[in-house]
Structure 1
Amino acid sequence: MADKIDVTKTLDSYRAKRGEFRILDLPPRQYLMIDGHGDPNTSPAYAEALEALYPVAYTLKFASKRTLERDYVVPPLEGLWTADDLDAFTTARDKSQWDWTMMLLVPDWIGADLVDAAVAQVAAKKAPVRLAEIRLQTLDEGCCVQTLHVGSFDDEGPVLDRMHHEFIPSEGLRMTGTHHEIYLSDPRRTAPEKLRTILRQPVTRD
């Protein structure tokens, strides 16, 4: 069997540096997705979303290893975040306004049939409350700007403000699509000041 694949080491989309805004073009990629609304720190829907995502992701990983002989590390959690007022992200940080889609990348060699089988296998045991809401969907972001934020999630505001209002306009770009975060650290095991999060914004040229 080939070595276990870790997409954070093989895909360019997981490369980012603190203090550097980088422009990159991303190909379409498929994810396990589930939607919700509200403060992720207090919303039961957020916890229930993760309780549904991870069992499917790990069941899928083991199925790939067993049936396709291709093993991989389950990728880091990612999130798409939206709000009617973008200041809810950069200044006010009013998390009660946030809509979100939590996601886990699915390797491109895995098809919908294997995902359906993984969901059915999880359901046959003890189905998470929101299992039926999980979907496999392709995300096509195209041109993006991203950077690495090191620190608490609540300290992202100034970095996003510079990205949105300084770097993106200075490059002749305009924001489009949805704010995207990639959580390289496990907040259960990492001090807030050491959390590593990729911040990504899809853009287009005027």
Structure 2
Amino acid sequence: MKYEWRKAEKQIYLPKKIEIQTIPNYKFISLSGHGNPNSAHFSEQISALYILSYALRMKLKKGELGEPFEYTVYPLEGVWTSEKDPGDGPLNKDELIYQIMIRQPDRLTEEDFLAVVEPTFKKKQNPYIKDAKFIEYEEGRIIQTTHLGPYDDEAATFAKMHEFMEKEQLHSTTTMGQYIHREIYLSDPRKIEPAKQKTVLRYKLK
């Protein structure tokens, strides 16, 4: 039976309200960068992550890495670092620092990942394929909710999250005065109009 994260992990990826969760250790393929996410190189980085994720998915489906396992590729995620909190209004996109990633099944190893990098690069010729890293990360205690609408309207949803945190006496983490948040993209912006886009928004809590 095909593993569907939307059905099996609703509590992680499909929050219906503002809620607190604890996110365990997961494995990801990741790329980092700096600047506007509307740029061509950012799109190329996203493409590289999906190319590698689908290459690994095919190997698992064919049983080349143990018992055959079929699953839906996980959604794209982005960790964004900015000089101001996203709840305070539009961010300067040109100054953003980001780490984008796609989660991988627990059974995959770094060795599995490294084995597909070179043949996948030879086939697809995306330069960012060779820059991708296989990482493990435990996010821990977070606050999250689902934002419905364009990315540029996220500030209003973040503001509601701040109201919730203030009421519950919660505080999000910062690093050297920089604000950090995570976005999980449940919708493909190429296939759905902005008003119907769904994005999970998260803060990591202290």
TM-score, normalised via structure 1 length: 0.90
- 2:58 pairs with 1:62: yes
**Residue 154 of structure 1, CA deviation:** 0.7
The code of the aligned residue for 2:143 comes to V
Q: How many residues of Structure 1 are paired with residues of Structure 2 in the alignment?
A: 197
**Which residue of 197, 200, 203 maps to 1:198?**
200
1:97 Cα deviation from its structure 2 partner:
1.7
Structure 1 partner of 2:177: none
Q: Deviations over 1:70-102 (max 9, x none)?
A: 111111111111112225x64133211211111
Q: CA deviation digits over 1:3-56, x for unaligned, max 9?
A: 111112212211211xx2100111111111001111111x23201211211111
Q: Which amino acid aligns with 2:198?
A: R
Tell me how far 1:195 sits from its aligned partner: 0.3
- The alpha carbon displacement at 1:167 in A equals 1.2
CA 1:185 to 1:126, structure 2 compared with 1: closer, same or farther past 3 Å?
closer
Matched, 1:45 2:46: no
Q: Tell me the equivalent position of 2:159.
A: 161
Q: Report the RMSD for the aligned CA atoms in angstroms.
A: 1.5
Counterpart of 1:193 in structure 2: which amino acid? A
* 1:104 alignment counterpart: 102
**Aligned equivalent of 1:16:** 15
Look up the match of 2:84. 85
Aligned-partner residue type, residue 184 of structure 1: L
Alignment-derived partner of residue 146 in structure 2: 148
Per the TM alignment, residue 119 of structure 1 is displaced from its structure 2 partner at its CA by 1.1
Q: Which runs of 5+ in 2 are unaligned?
A: 175-179
What SS class does the counterpart of residue 200 from structure 2 fall into? strand
Structure 1 CA distance for aligned equivalents of residues 198 and 46 of structure 2? 19
Structure 1 range deviating more: 52-61 or 173-182: 173-182
Selected match of 2:170 from 169, 173, 177: 173
Deviation at 1:162, TM superposition (A): 2.2
**C-alpha contact (below 8 Å) 2:84/2:91 kept by paired residues:** no
Question: Normalising by the residue count of structure 2, what TM-score does the alignment of the two structures yield?
Answer: 0.90
Query: What one-letter code is carried by the residue in structure 1 that aligns with 2:186?
Result: L
Aligned to 2:192, what secondary structure does the other structure show?
Answer: coil
- 4+ runs deviating over 4 angstroms: none
Distance in 1 of aligned mates of 2:168 and 2:190? 37
- Take 1:198 and 1:113, find their aligned partners in 2: how far apart are those partners? 30
Give the secondary-structure state (helix, strand or coil) at the position aligned to 1:138.
Answer: strand
Distance 1:124 1:92, change over 3 A: closer
SS of residue paired to 1:188 = coil
Q: Which blocks of at least 5 consecutive residues in structure 1 are unaligned?
A: none
Following superposition, the deviation at residue 120 of structure 1 comes to 2.1
